[in-house]
Amino acid sequence: MRLLVLTSTFPRWPDDTEPAFVQNLCNYLAENNTIDVVTPHFAGAKVREQMGPLEVYRYRYFPQQWERLAYEGGILPNLRRQPLLALLIPFFLASQLWLVCRLLRRNDYDVIHAHWVIPQAFVALLARALVRRKTPLVVTSHGGDLFALKGPVFSRLKHLIVRHAQHLTVVSSAMRDKAIGLGVPAGKVSVIPMGVDAQNTFVPPPRGARREGLIFVGRLVDKKGVEYLLQAMPAVRQQHSDARLDIIGDGPLRGELEQLVHRLGLQATVHFLGSIPNTAIPAKLQEARIAVVPSVVTDNGDQEGAPVAVMEVMACECTTIVSDYPGARDLIEDGCNGRLVPQRDPQSLALAINSLLADADTCLALGQEGRKTVQQDFDWRVVSARFQAVFDEYASPRSADA
C-alpha cells in the first residue's frame, strides 16, 4: 500500500542528532509499502529528498532563519522557552496543510499516518475534508500531545480529532486510559510503542568488555528530570569517589544544569557531551555500566510515553534505573529487568545507584533481563508488524474519493 506519514520529529540530514524513531518505523514499513513523509523544514535541510526508501517532503513556513518552531527540543519546549515562536503557528499549520492537500490530490494513498494528535492529525483531518478524500487516518500519540495540552479548547479539539480518526495508537498503557477518558472507544485505541533495532544496532558489547560509569541520554528539557539525577550525585560520590556521569544530549535547560553542577562541586564527576549522531549512541551505551532515566510528570502534565531511550539502553544490556511514572511501567519491572525509583527523589536515586555500583552480579542480571524484554516486545520487527496490521485493517480501496 501507499502511506502518507505526517510528523514534526524527523532527521533533517544524515547523522542528525534529532530523534529517529519515526524514520526507523517508516524504514521497516517501507519493506512492504511505499511511504511519503511530510515534516517541517529547518535551515540547512533539503525541501525534498529521498532518504533511503522514503520520499521526504519538508514544508517551508517562514524565512528559514526563523523556522525554529520544531526540532531541537520539540514544539512545546520551544514555545515555553521562546513564547514569541507562537507567532509562527498559523504559518506552520497553513504550510503543512497546503503541502498535505497537494499530495492528497496528486497521489492515491491507502492510509494517512499522523504522529501526534496536535498538530499533525488536526491538519490531516482538515486536508482530507478540503480535497474531499476519505483516506483512512491512523493517529499515533507520543505523550505530550495527549497529556500536556490542557484546557477546554484543547480537550474539545483532541476529542474531535480522535473521534474522526479511524484508529488511535498510543505508546503506553497509561496513555490508553487517558484516550478512553477522552471518549475514544476501547476498540479504537491500541497500545503500540515505538521500537529499537535490537538485532543489529543496539546490542550488548562483546563478553568481558569493561563497562563503567553512569550515562544519561536525552533532551535537556523539564520532563527528563536531569536536575534530580545531578542532585543525587554528591551522595553517589561519597561512596564511589571515582563515579563518572556522562550526559549526552542538548536542550534549553543545559545552561541551568551546568550551573547546578558547579554549585554542587561536580565538575570532575559530571561531563556534558552534548548531542552526538544517532549512529554513535550504541557505542556509548555499550561502554556504560548504568543508565539513569529520571523522567518526571511536569507541572503542566507533560510526560514521556514509553521512552525509546529506555529501550535502547535495555537492548544494550546496560543496567537501567528509571523514575516510576506511568509510561515506565510498561517497560520496567522493578528488580527483574531494571530498577524503578520514585520521581523527583534524589535520595532514592542515589541509593539505587550506589547499590548497583556495589553489586556487579545484580547489574549483569538486570541488564540481561532488560535485553530479553526488548527483544520480545520492542524490537522494530515486532512493532512494525503491529502497525502494519492496523493499516491493513483500515486501508480502503484507492477509489475512496468522496
2-195+380-394 and 214-377 agree in CATH topology: yes
Q: pLDDT value at position 298?
A: 83
Q: pLDDT value at position 74?
A: 83
Low-confidence residues of the chain: pLDDT under 50: 398-402
Q: pLDDT value at position 402?
A: 39
Domain ranges of the chain: 2-195+380-394, 214-377
What lies within 8 Å, CB to CB, of 134 at 6+ separation is 128, 396, 400, 401, 402
Are the beta carbons of 315 and 291 closer than 8 angstroms?
A: no
Are the beta carbons of 280 and 16 closer than 8 angstroms?
A: no
Which burial class, exposed, middle or buried, applies to 216 when counting CB atoms under 10 A from its CB (0-12, 13-18, 19+)? buried
Are the beta carbons of 4 and 123 closer than 8 angstroms?
A: no
Report the topology of domain 2-195+380-394: Rossmann fold (3.40.50)
Q: How far apart are CA 276 and CA 248, in angstroms?
A: 7
With the C-alpha atoms ordered 326, 21, 128, 38, is the resulting torsion angle positive or negative? positive
Count other Cβ atoms within 10 Å, centred on residue 67: 22
Q: For residue 130, how far is the Cα from the chain centroid?
A: 31
Between β-strands 319-323 and 245-248, what pairing exists: parallel, antiparallel or unpaired? unpaired
Q: For residue 398, how far is the Cα from the chain centroid?
A: 32
Q: How far apart are CA 1 and CA 316, in angstroms?
A: 34
Listing DSSP states for 243-273 in one string gives --EEEE---TTHHHHHHHHHHTT-TTTEEEE
Q: Give domain 214-377's CATH superfamily.
A: Glycogen Phosphorylase B; (3.40.50.2000)
C-alpha to C-alpha distances, 92 to 70, 75, 302, nearest whole angstrom: 9, 11, 22
Q: pLDDT value at position 400?
A: 42
Give the three-class secondary structure for 51: strand
Listing DSSP states for 66-92 in one string gives G--SSSTT-HHHHHHH-GGGGGGHHHH
C-alpha to C-alpha distances, 22 to 8, 9, 35, 194, 283, nearest whole angstrom: 9, 7, 12, 8, 22
Q: What are phi and psi of 117, to 5 degrees?
A: -60, -45
Q: Which of 271, 245, 226 is CA-nearest to residue 357?
A: 245
Q: How far apart are CA 335 and CA 199, in angstroms?
A: 25
* pTM exceeds cut of 0.95: no
**What is the torsion angle, in degrees rounded to the nearest 10, for the CA atoms of residue 322, residue 324, residue 326 and residue 330?**
50
Output the nine-digit C-alpha cell for 240: 564511589
Question: Which residue do the cell numbers 537492548 mark?
Answer: 315
- In the DSSP assignment, the letter for residue 238 is H
Q: pLDDT value at position 396?
A: 60
Count CA atoms closer than 13 A to 45's CA, side-chain side: 29
